[in-house]
Structure 1
Amino acid sequence: MSGGVDSSMCAHILHSQGYEVTGLYMHNWNHDEETQDELETPTNASTTLQLNTPYLTESTPDTTTLLTPTDHGYKPMPRTAPIRPKACTSDRDWADVQSVCSQIGIPARRLDFSRQYWNQVFQVMLQEYERGRTPNPDVSCNREIKFGELVEWCRRNGGLGKDRGGAGGWDYLATGHYARVERDPETGIARLLRAKDSNKDQTYYLSTLSEKVLRHVLFPLAQYDKPTVKRMALAFASSSSSSSSTNSEQDEELTSLQYAALKKESMGICFVGQRKRFGDFLKEYLDPLPGPVKINGLGGEVIGMHKGLFQYTVGQASGVTHRHNKWVVLRTDLPSNTLVVVDGTQNDRLFSPGLIAEDWHWIAGAPPKKLVQRLSTATTTPTATNGQDEQDDEYPFTAQIRHRQVPQPCTIEPISEAEAEQSATGTAAVTMAMTAAAAVEDISSARLFRVRFKDHQRAIAPGQILVLYDRDECLGGAVIRSSLLRPEYAHEHDIPSLQP
């Protein structure tokens, strides 16, 4: 529970349905440790719990260093920032959670995962920016913390699902996400589906969860839209107030759910706080290295100096003043520390026919049968069809490269490392049939996939998350490695550098 209306109503709905509910508040950002020069190592490396208290905290492993992939050449290093105003509202949010839980009539506990968040989400995010990429920490937080560390904590402290022991533990972990989970009545296998409210659907952020975790997850808000959830919260608060005693303190307490409904919705990343620009926050951890700004490519005219590549991402306004043009970021070239810009937000060079994605995560643990079957028959001539059926056959899936994007029809195929480089540089064109015939037997272990869209997509940025769907079902997600070069620009040699 966060203190907001979604998680508050999630708890209320389940409690009203007869579940025994415990509200868990996760403290994921420690301002005090953020501003220290070093992070102290716990004297006892083992996990310790303070039990039988309303405020439950968990010690976490040492975070003075972060273990990172050695093939990327990174060295473990501490991250610090100067003393500055507190960004998170953790204490206030925890107070709101306690107040809401008191109104509903359920216990509240506070868990401290700030060290895990620092190690597994925050530092990884900084390293991605150092690589010239645009990461999504919200996706990482869901995978590593909310449905990672929290699930493990549940399992260690009484069990979760079938593993729960005796009277302890829990049957399910529930959150206020707008998403659906459907379970096969015979096998129990879970599928992740879009929520009823397409505007609030959050399956994009849940795309790297596993089916094994989803078996034990409930999303009570799946059937509601946001306005309805707020109305329900206000209605419950009003009915509670009218039936309460005349004691003023009790009446004030019973308005906590109403406050959650009227509370301004939390947007963005908590540790950034009220800063106007995310780049200003990153400068507290990463050293900006100025470099040239060039038009169209590395051989283009120099029109200014950038303030550090990590502050720019594909498709955004560059802030460069030159003539009366609106210069937009096309890409960042890390080896030469160059920012490449183009004229206009709808410049042709900003649009790409597809992308290369890496480190694929399939929710079911393996590629969908629909994809495997399609690849196995890719070399055969399809039966002629008309209308929507023909389009569905050519582009059997949809994908999103950002939250709330309209789902885009696409096709997907596994490729080798060599083919990925050729596709990104425009030096070769490999048809789906040629690739699929060789790769179908090894699709389960394929690390790289090429995704082609029915329509060209604007501003595909390395490091973003691509999420694949089959109608309403979320199949999984991957990290975008590079966009595909358009044929008309294949003759250009200063193509985007593939980051290590």
Structure 2
Amino acid sequence: MSGGVDSSVTAALLAEQDFDLSAVFMRNWDTKDELGADGKCEWEKDWHDVQQVCKLLDIPCRMVDLSREYWLRVFEPALRVWERGMTPNPDVDCNREIKFDALVQRLGESAQWIATGHYAHLQWDDATHRAMLCRSVDRHKDQSYFLAAVQEPQLRRFMFPISHMTKPQLRELAHARGLPTASREDSVGICFVGQKRRFEQFISEYIPPSPGKIVDEHGKVIGEHNGLWKFTIGESSRVSGLKTRFYVAKKDAERNEIVAVPGRDHPMLQCRAVNTIDWRWVWPDHDVQQVLALQTKLGGRFTTKIRHAMAEIECTPSQGTSPENVVLSFAHPDAGVAPGQTAALYLNEWCLGCGTITETTCTADLQESASSEPT
């Protein structure tokens, strides 16, 4: 339980069934411990709400401290990625490394099943008796993207009791049962940043300034930056005094340089394909040829999501230079795709796996390649 309404309703639904039930609250981050500050921390409020809900439902609860594991396996690796000018997804890493691994190891055999408040659905394949990670009923809240790096041997011990509900239905149920968290707002953003601080302010406490140039597509200097990690591909370059607004199209870590282009529809911003590494199939024995055969057998289409809150893009997967290297080619371009982001692959409603983007191919790359071909 996290202290939010989703896990509170999950607990309430399970409490109405014949389970030997107990609740676990994970403490993954402690601002007071980390910065040496006094005052009430975010996790203390969450833990208080968990205890209130569990008291109402008559469920025993306990706290498990996984802050060290989170620091070493999620936060520090993310810092290294930000320092290189890339855009990591700590929430995907948290599920893979902490919720579905470190927590499971800590609980051991004492927990036969583990339930969470994720908006995702597990469907069991009749032929193989394996769990299939699928989208939830509420497509706006669906969190299968964040679970795409969790593999089936880990998933099969989990339950997602709210997968059949929409958020309004869940809120209504929470109010009907008088849950203390019924009106609590959804958490947004990266968990360790918290609600009261901006991302840039937070990360600047860990990554020192690194001044560099902002140039246009022709190499002309148009401004300066104070760190690659402060800028995201597809967002404004924040260069003032120009007649046209420029947007970040590329970050060159070796040169410590940002390339910005005029207008959001510029060819350098229109991504047509991504190259990924560290690809993890939800079913570990899957490969590209097998999932292409699945599409032939089941019909439908492949789609990808690069960010949680985005429309899916139709795509075609292909094998790269190694089993962990998968290329996704888009049916139509998408703006603002950045190295470091997680690309998740779907076949219809079934989430097949994901990888980390290392390179992007944009419309400008294709145009340059075509112009350089001999006639």
Tell me if both proteins adopt one fold, taking TM over 0.5 as the criterion: yes
Partner of 1:173: 114
Residue 6 of structure 2 corresponds to residue 6 of structure 1: yes
Distance 1:184 1:350 in 2: 40
Paired letter, 1:288: P
Distance 1:407 1:303 in 2: 34
Residue 292 of structure 2 corresponds to residue 448 of structure 1: no
Cα contact 2:326–2:355 (8 A) shared by 1: no
Residue of structure 2 aligned with 1:198, choices 135, 139, 145: 139
Q: Report SS of the residue matched to 2:187.
A: coil
Partner of 1:104: 57
Aligned residues: 367
Residues 256-278 of structure 1: per-residue CA shift (max 9 Å, x gap): x1x30111211112321234531
Residues 446-500 of structure 1: per-residue CA shift (max 9 Å, x gap): 121211111011111000000000100000010001101432133899xxxxxxx
Cα contact 2:339–2:358 (8 A) shared by 1: yes
Q: How far apart are residue 91 of structure 1 and its match?
A: 1.0
Residue 104 of structure 2 corresponds to residue 151 of structure 1: yes
Q: Report SS of the residue matched to 2:316.
A: strand
Residue 207 of structure 2 corresponds to residue 289 of structure 1: no
Structure 1: segments with no counterpart, 5+ residues: 36-82, 160-168, 238-256, 377-381, 383-388, 417-444, 494-500
Q: Which runs of 4+ in 1 moved over 6 A?
A: none
Cα contact 1:210–1:364 (8 A) shared by 2: yes
Residue 235 of structure 2 corresponds to residue 330 of structure 1: no
Partner of 1:263: 184
Q: Report SS of the residue matched to 2:177.
A: helix
Q: How far apart are residue 294 of structure 1 and its match?
A: 0.4
Distance 1:333 1:4 in 2: 40
TM-score (norm 1): 0.70
Q: Report SS of the residue matched to 2:103.
A: helix
Cα contact 1:275–1:281 (8 A) shared by 2: no
Q: Report SS of the residue matched to 2:358.
A: strand
Cα contact 1:23–1:106 (8 A) shared by 2: yes
Cα contact 2:119–2:143 (8 A) shared by 1: yes
Residues 261-298 of structure 1: per-residue CA shift (max 9 Å, x gap): 111211112321234531221110001111111012xx
Cα contact 2:267–2:362 (8 A) shared by 1: no
Residue of structure 1 aligned with 2:167, choices 201, 213, 226: 226
Cα contact 2:95–2:147 (8 A) shared by 1: yes
Cα contact 1:87–1:274 (8 A) shared by 2: no
Cα contact 2:277–2:356 (8 A) shared by 1: yes
Partner of 1:469: 346
TM-score (norm 2): 0.92
Q: Report SS of the residue matched to 2:182.
A: helix
Partner of 2:156: 215
Cα contact 2:84–2:228 (8 A) shared by 1: no
Structure 2: segments with no counterpart, 5+ residues: none
Q: Report SS of the residue matched to 2:68.
A: helix
Distance 2:38 2:219 in 1: 42
Cα contact 1:87–1:271 (8 A) shared by 2: no
Compare CA radii of gyration and give the structure with the larger one. Answer: 1
Partner of 1:39: none
Q: How far apart are residue 215 of structure 1 and its match?
A: 0.9
Q: Report SS of the residue matched to 1:484.
A: strand
Partner of 1:249: none
- Higher strand share goes to which structure? 2
Identity of aligned residues (%): 37
Residue 310 of structure 2 corresponds to residue 405 of structure 1: yes
Distance 2:266 2:196 in 1: 30
Q: How far apart are residue 186 of structure 1 and its match?
A: 7.0
Partner of 2:368: 489
Partner of 1:90: 43
Cα contact 1:87–1:273 (8 A) shared by 2: no
Q: How far apart are residue 127 of structure 1 and its match?
A: 0.4
Partner of 2:269: 350
Q: Report SS of the residue matched to 2:139.
A: coil
Partner of 1:308: 227
Distance 1:480 1:374 in 2: 21
The 10-residue stretch of structure 1 (110-119 or 275-284) with the greater mean CA deviation from structure 2:
275-284
